[in-house]
């Protein structure tokens, strides 16, 4: 698929500013609490934010701007304003400890940070020794020792001269999940995000100006940046944002209030919403479909969701390295348990350790190719050479592809277990465990009891009404033995009240491995 972008190109024009030219000035594009913003408002407020960065904060083309905000309108205005000004966007979780912000400020060398008032104490501590930071703008009533975002932007003109950016200029860093060590910045160009939008959002999802989106993951996470801001804006649609933590109760409330057509979710939340008391009576009839990514969606959860709510789930996989989803199920073409087929415009192959493509049905490492591939990881030359080659990216994911072209996920390469000399995918064991009536949530990791022989260990959150006893553990083990090959059953079961999650909503297996 040949998609061409003009040589002089800025992704903010592609995602936001074209809507004014299309006559959508008065169309509502963003809902937040009791507020509504039109595309005309969005352009004006983004221009003010961009002018604040340039005129007040001294941001120059290619300077990094660090966005540390919950989901709120100011996130969008800062994002588009920074892009239009030619700055490089970096965005991170607003719920981190000070030590993490110290790392991000040093790593990005951001000249400006835009933060929320709830971070004042934490971020003030982190900013004290930041060598490159020049200004901090604070969203909210309190500003501490920094400047008020509202006051600074209000004093700015609502017209912004766009930077003369090239389609191949650096535009944004998307951070990896940091499963090993600190998160790395995947460096993307101005045309990368629009390329995936053309291939995936427009042509596969068919997103259009009548769509309204809501998301479980927050905007700092590229998955949500795409589905809950950039994709709807690219086609003149709308989004509804909420700054509170995503809980099943909150999601039902937001869906019933704003009546979205597309819900961006993750398996953990799909499970949580299904298990909320009275869930079956809640109204999700506005949804055209639900998206799932981040972790493989167990068949059991998929079937329960569709049966309960009558809403299709399109499970897929993407990454910070490729910006967004490149393999997915489609409306009218869902194969439960698989991650679907390759998105048109991308290519993929499953390879062995020597880089050779394996036979159909054999497991190996996924390598994907497409024009949204990152340029590199910032300050990680060796890792970049291992991962990137032109527009291809060798992932850390284990897959097999079947004869019909559907891709089946077996887990992260680092998470694979070698049991009795055979590789075992934790996700397969987890999918089986979830079929047991006593299992609410679960995670499987490798455990060495001291004999240097790694075997599966399961951490299980039991459903209400099931006591975490040795008898229950034994019954669950027997259940797995009758459904999977004998060597795959978990040798140890530890009952827990909750599973640790990272800031993407994924189960934090690293913490479980340390238990």
DSSP one-letter string for 256-306: HHH--SEEEE-HHHHHHHHHSTTGGGS--TT-SEEEE-SSPPPHHHHHHHH
Q: Which helix (H) or strand (E) holds 493?
A: strand 492-495
Assess contact for 85 and 119: CB atoms under 8 A: no
Distance CA 247, CA 216 (A): 8
Taking the C-alpha atoms of residue 357 and residue 392, their distance in angstroms, rounded to an integer, is 14
Bridge partner list, 172: 89, 188
Statement to judge: residues 147 and 213 lie in one domain = no
Task: Give yes or no: residues 18 and 153 share one domain.
Answer: yes
CATH number for the domain that contains residue 299: 3.40.50.980
User: Which helix (H) or strand (E) element contains residue 414?
Assistant: none
- The pLDDT of residue 254: 98
Terminus-to-terminus CA distance in the chain, angstroms? Answer: 47
Query: Are residues 274 and 152 located together in one domain of the fold?
Result: no
Q: What would the two tokens of residue 453 be?
A: 């022989």
> Domain boundary residue among 279, 311, 343?
311
Whether 19 and 157 map to the same domain: the answer is yes
- In whole angstroms, give the CA distance from residue 480 to residue 415: 20
Q: In whole angstroms, give the CA distance from residue 445 to residue 455.
A: 8
pLDDT of residue 501: 83
Give the integer Cα–Cα distance in Å for 20 and 43.
Answer: 8
Give the pairing of strands 347-351 and 341-342.
unpaired
Q: Is residue 411 part of a domain?
A: no
Given a contact cutoff of 8 angstroms between Cβ atoms, the answer to whether 91 and 219 are in contact is yes
> Residue 144 and residue 163: Cα distance in Å, rounded?
32
For tokens 């390759």, the residue is 342
**17 within some domain:** yes
Q: Name every residue whose Cβ is closer than 8 Å to that of residue 401 and which is 6 or more positions away in sequence.
A: 348, 350, 360, 361, 407, 408
Q: Which of 389, 299, 384, 391 is closest to 345 using CA atoms?
A: 391
What tens-digit pLDDT sequence spans the chain (515 residues)? 679 999 999 999 999 999 999 999 999 999 999 999 999 999 999 999 999 999 999 999 999 999 999 999 999 999 999 999 999 999 999 999 999 999 999 999 999 999 999 999 999 999 998 999 999 999 999 999 999 999 999 999 999 999 999 999 999 999 987 555 689 999 999 999 999 999 999 999 999 999 999 999 999 999 999 999 999 999 999 999 999 999 999 999 999 999 999 999 999 899 999 999 999 999 999 999 999 998 889 899 999 999 999 999 999 999 999 999 999 999 999 999 999 999 999 999 999 989 999 999 999 999 999 999 999 999 999 999 999 999 999 998 999 999 999 999 988 877 777 676 667 788 889 989 999 999 999 999 988 877 667 789 999 999 999 999 999 999 999 999 998 878 889 999 999 999 988 777 778 887 887 76
How many structural domains is the chain composed of? Answer: 3
| Residue 186 placed within a domain | no
Domain match, 43 and 155 both: yes
pLDDT of residue 455: 87
What is the structure's pLDDT at 102?
Answer: 96
Cα–Cα distances (Å) from 494 to 197, 446, 447, 458, 491, in that order, read 43, 13, 12, 6, 10
Tell me the two tokens of residue 411: 């887990």
Q: Are residues 51 and 155 in the same domain?
A: yes
Assess whether 161 and 210 both reside in one domain: no
DSSP state of 160: -
Q: Is residue 355 part of a domain?
A: no
Beta strands in 299-378 (DSSP E): 313-317, 327-328, 341-342, 347-351, 364-369, 376-377
Say if 122 falls within a structural domain.
yes
- Among 255, 280, 311, where does a domain finish? 311
Residue 158 inside a domain? The answer is: yes
Whichever domain contains 441, its CATH number is 3.30.300.30
- Pairing mode of beta strands 238-241, 392-401: unpaired
Instruction: State the Rg of the chain over Cα.
Output: 23
Which single residue is written with the structure tokens 């008032």? Answer: 117
Check which CATH number belongs to the domain holding 129 and give it. Answer: 3.40.50.12780
Q: Is residue 490 part of a domain?
A: yes
pLDDT tens digits, one per residue of 67-84: 999 999 999 999 999 999
Residues 156 and 233 both lie in one domain: no
* Angle formed at CA 376 by CA 8 and CA 47, multiple of 5 degrees: 40
Beta bridge partners of 241: 32
Residues 219 and 157 in one domain: no
Q: Are residues 212 and 151 in the same domain?
A: no
The reported pLDDT for the residue numbered 221 is 95
**CA–CA gap between residue 345 and residue 134 (Å, rounded):** 41
Q: What is the pLDDT of residues 474-494, one digit of tens each?
A: 999 999 999 887 888 999 999
pLDDT at 448: 80
Domain with 261, as residue range(s), is 206-311
Q: Are residues 143 and 15 in the same domain?
A: yes
Which tokens go with 185? 């910045």
Supply 345's token pair: 């415009």
Alpha-carbon distance 108 to 88, whole Å?
A: 10
Domain final residue pick, 287, 311, 335: 311
Do the domain assignments include residue 472? yes
Does 143 lie in the same domain as 245? Answer: no
């Amino acid at each position: 698929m040949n998609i061409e972008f003009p040589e002089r190109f800025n992704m903010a024009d592609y995602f936001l500013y074209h809507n004014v030219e299309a006559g959508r000035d008065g169309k509502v594009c963003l809902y937040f609490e009791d507020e509504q913003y039109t595309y005309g408002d969005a352009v004006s407020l983004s221009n003010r934010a961009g002018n604040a960065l340039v005129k007040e904060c001294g941001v120059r083309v290619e300077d990094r701007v660090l966005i540390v905000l919950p989901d709120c309108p100011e996130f969008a205005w800062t994002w588009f304003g920074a892009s239009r000004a030619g700055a490089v966007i970096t965005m991170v979780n607003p719920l981190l400890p000070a030590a993490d912000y110290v790392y991000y400020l040093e790593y990005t060398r951001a000249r400006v940070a835009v933060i929320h008032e709830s971070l004042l104490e934490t971020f003030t501590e982190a900013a004290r020794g930041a060598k490159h930071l020049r200004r901090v703008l604070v969203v909210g009533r309190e500003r501490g020792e920094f400047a008020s975002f509202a006051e600074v932007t209000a004093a700015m003109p609502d017209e912004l001269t766009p930077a003369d950016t090239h389609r191949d200029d650096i535009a944004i860093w998307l951070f990896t999940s940091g499963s090993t060590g600190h998160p790395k910045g995947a460096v993307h160009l101005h045309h990368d995000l629009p390329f995936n939008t053309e291939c995936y959002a427009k042509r596969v999802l068919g997103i259009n100006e009548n769509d309204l989106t809501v998301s479980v993951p927050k905007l700092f996470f590229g998955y949500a940046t795409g589905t809950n801001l950039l994709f709807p804006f690219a086609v003149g649609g709308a989004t509804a944002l909420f700054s509170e933590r995503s809980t099943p109760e909150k999601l039902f409330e937001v869906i019933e209030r704003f009546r979205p057509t597309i819900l961006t979710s993750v398996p953990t939340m799909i499970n949580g919403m299904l298990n909320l008391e009275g869930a079956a009576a809640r109204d999700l009839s506005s949804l055209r479909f639900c998206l799932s990514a981040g972790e493989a969606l167990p068949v059991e959860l998929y079937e329960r969701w569709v049966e309960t709510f009558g809403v299709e789930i399109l499970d897929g996989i993407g990454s910070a390295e490729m910006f967004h989803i490149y393999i997915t199920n489609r409306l009218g073409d869902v194969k439960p348990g698989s991650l679907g087929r390759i998105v048109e415009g991308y290519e993929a192959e499953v390879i062995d350790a020597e880089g050779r493509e394996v036979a159909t049905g054999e497991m190996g490492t996924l390598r994907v190719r497409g024009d949204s591939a990152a340029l590199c990881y910032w300050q990680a030359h060796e890792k970049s050479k291992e991962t990137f080659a032109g527009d291809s990216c060798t992932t850390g994911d284990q897959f097999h592809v079947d004869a019909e072209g559907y891709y089946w996920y077996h887990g992260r390469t680092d998470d694979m277990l070698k049991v009795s000399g055979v590789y075992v995918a934790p996700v397969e064991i987890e999918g089986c465990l979830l079929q047991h009536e006593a299992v609410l949530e679960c995670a499987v990791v490798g455990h060495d009891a001291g004999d240097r022989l790694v075997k599966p260990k399961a951490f299980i959150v039991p459903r209400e009404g099931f006591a975490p006893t040795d008898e229950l553990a034994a019954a669950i083990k027997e259940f797995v033995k009758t459904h999977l090959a004998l060597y795959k059953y978990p040798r140890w079961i530890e009952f827990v009240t909750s599973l640790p999650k990272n800031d993407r909503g994924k189960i934090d297996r690293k913490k479980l491995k340390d238990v």
